Amino acid sequence: MASTPVHATAVSFGAKAVLLRGESGSGKSALALDLMALGAELIADDGVILRAEGGQIWAHCPEAIKGKIEARYIGLLMATPAAPAPVGLVIEMGAVETERLPPRRRCRIQGVQIACLHKVETRGFAAAIVQYLKGGRCD
């Protein structure tokens, strides 16, 4: 089982994880907090271990940061840690979406194809992610 530490944040919603990838300051923790306010659970903030298991990529938390998330200008906050979960969606925080109806995108992690979205800089992005996880896209 291959294990890769990555600079990312992961939350789970239902049985799937959302992996937020991007540079420091790109909004990973802020989006994770928005998703948590809508019912997601924190897997890991600012450091995720990815493991290929059974044809899926699983997001795990390093023990040292379990249950902690940074809220800029507030401090480190505690959260009930979620169990590892298979990554069902990747959000590329370094790429801003410019298309109203973007094409389906996929990214490859350890040889596994995963649905991918670019960051959206409008209100409602977190709610759209939750609905994407619940119902998927219809096109």
The domain ranges of the chain are 3-135
Would you identify the CATH topology of the domain 3-135? Answer: Rossmann fold (3.40.50)
Q: Express each pLDDT in 76-87 by its tens digit.
A: 999 999 999 999
Q: Express each pLDDT in 5-31 by its tens digit.
A: 899 999 999 899 999 999 999 999 999
Sort strands 85-96 and 56-60 into parallel, antiparallel or unpaired. antiparallel
pTM of the shown model: 0.95
Distance CA 123, CA 135 (A): 20
Is 38 in contact with 130 (CB distance < 8 Å)?
yes
